[in-house]
Amino acid sequence: MKNKQNNLKIFRSVAVDQLRADLRSSKSFKSYYEEQFQVKQKDLLVTNIAIQEKLPTLKIPKGDPASADLENAIALHEYFKIDEMQASDPRFWVYLSHVLFRKYTLARWGIKENHDDLKDDPTKLRAAINQVLEHWFGTGGDLKGLRRHSLARLWWAAHLTYAPWEKDPEFFGGMKKDDPYYFTKTLLYTQDIYQTLLERGMGRSSKILISILDYLDKNKKFTDNRENIRRLAKELNLVYGVKKIIALDRQSLQGLIKKIAEEIMEQ
């Protein structure tokens, strides 16, 4: 028997604005320690996003906070069959983090400091509020603004790297793997790789992103040094803005990445 389908509800824009304002003023800060969120029906609207009645179970990480990122990214991507416009809507992600996947968001990105220890320290309280804003709301309605949202970051990580040979067989045809999430594994191998690549404009180009991930996957010695990755991304970003490397063919792009990486290793 198949799961019953429903149309997903999300917050109205005015509700998201109010949630954000209440948090910034610290009025609602204490509620971000609580496991339940009281949803007001007047704050919701029904979307055309059809979902199964049974939600995916997101794994709560133990030890390494990023240990379950890959598994959860795949689970979210497989469940939410949405397009990029829908996935760029902060109302969607704010509802998911506050309501549907609140337990996960609390465990992965909840405030660790005791509330009583923060309320009398304005500096620490403001830092904690900013942390909630970043991971529960995102900082904007595009990929860059959502890159650190607790759930959006995972869905986008999977979406941007899912079976690139299917999206662009002419460019990626020779890179086909048995696992459609092969490059998602590399992107989420460390938090440094994810943040370094997706926080820059070049991360939005699948040709550049996948080509970098392909190099990192094949050169673990290089990849295991976080400074190498940052320098590679920085150098490529400079080249991307000047020489428009997005127009390069795959062989030329791979050669450029290899050349810069080898120069970094020599230094």
Does the structure show a pLDDT above 90 at 162? yes
**Which of 154, 61, 148 is closest to 103 using CA atoms?**
61
The mean per-residue pLDDT over the stretch 140-162 comes to 86
Mean pLDDT of the chain: 91
Please report the DSSP string for 82-95 in residue order. Answer: --HHHHT-HHHHHH
Predicted local confidence at residue 267, as pLDDT: 82
Q: What is the pTM of this model?
A: 0.93
Predicted local confidence at residue 122, as pLDDT: 92
**Which of 159, 175, 248, 265 is closest to 214 using CA atoms?**
175
Tens of pLDDT along 16-26? 999 999 999 99
Domain ranges of the chain: 5-155, 165-266
Predicted local confidence at residue 232, as pLDDT: 94
Predicted local confidence at residue 63, as pLDDT: 83
Q: Dihedrals φ, ψ of 89, to 5°?
A: -90, 110
Predicted local confidence at residue 205, as pLDDT: 86
d(CA 130, CA 244): 35
* Tokens encoding 169: 């067989």
The alpha carbon torsion through 130, 133, 134, 136 (nearest 10 deg) reads 140
Q: Any idea what the Cα angle at residue 192 is, between residues 55 and 56, rounded to 5°?
A: 5
> Given pLDDT bands bounded at 50, 70 and 90, which one contains residue 65?
confident
Q: What is the CB neighbour count within 10 angstroms for residue 192?
A: 16
Predicted local confidence at residue 147, as pLDDT: 87
Predicted local confidence at residue 243, as pLDDT: 63
- For the chain, the residue count is 267
Question: CB burial class (10 A; 0-12, 13-18, 19+) of residue 177?
Answer: exposed
**Which of 102, 66, 96 is closest to 80 using CA atoms?**
96
List the single range of 88-92, 140-144, 203-207 with lowest mean pLDDT.
140-144
Predicted local confidence at residue 64, as pLDDT: 85
d(CA 30, CA 116): 10
d(CA 113, CA 123): 13
Does the structure show a pLDDT above 50 at 1? no
Tens of pLDDT along 3-58? 567 999 999 999 999 999 999 999 999 999 999 999 999 999 999 999 988 999 99
d(CA 235, CA 2): 50
Tens of pLDDT along 188-220? 998 889 989 987 777 778 999 999 999 999 999
